[in-house]
Amino acid sequence: MVPKIDVFRCDGCGVCAKHCPPQIMGLIKDKAAILVDLCEECGICAEACSVGAIHFRIPNKGVEGTFEAYETPRAFVPNPGNWCVGVPRGYDGAGNPAKKG
């Protein structure tokens, strides 16, 4: 997650730019700015910001808040007693070794 900078909160102190490990942050018109393509997403700038102007947003990725599992009826589940289990090769139905020949 790339950090987002709230320019209305930023006071232009430059502490975030000093603490940025890849040195991709700076000040533009006395406000913090970041090169998004080169960001390592380490979060050190957000921790260094004393006024809380830098924060991370979790992307939504188009996930909708539907709960279809509660709305749709359950699918038919067969009764385990009706299941057919195969007989292992080499044994008859009673579990005895099969007679050869």
Task: Quickly state the pLDDT bin for 2 (edges 50, 70, 90).
Answer: confident
List the beta bridge partners of residue 32: 27
Could you give all domains of the chain from N- to C-terminal order, each with its CATH number?
A: 3-56 (3.30.70.20)
> With contact defined as beta carbons under 8 Å apart, do 33 and 5 qualify?
yes
pLDDT (0 to 100) of residue 43: 87
Q: What is the pLDDT of residues 68-98, one digit of tens each?
A: 555 555 555 555 554 555 555 555 656 666 6
CB atoms near residue 28 (< 10 Å): 9
- Distance CA(82)–CA(61), nearest Å, equals 43
Which pTM does this prediction carry? Answer: 0.53
Amino acid at 49: C
- Distance CA(46)–CA(37), nearest Å, equals 17
Closest by CA to 48, choosing from 10, 82, 74, 81, is 10
Q: What is the pLDDT of residues 10-63, one digit of tens each?
A: 999 999 999 999 999 999 999 999 998 898 888 899 999 999 999 876 656 665
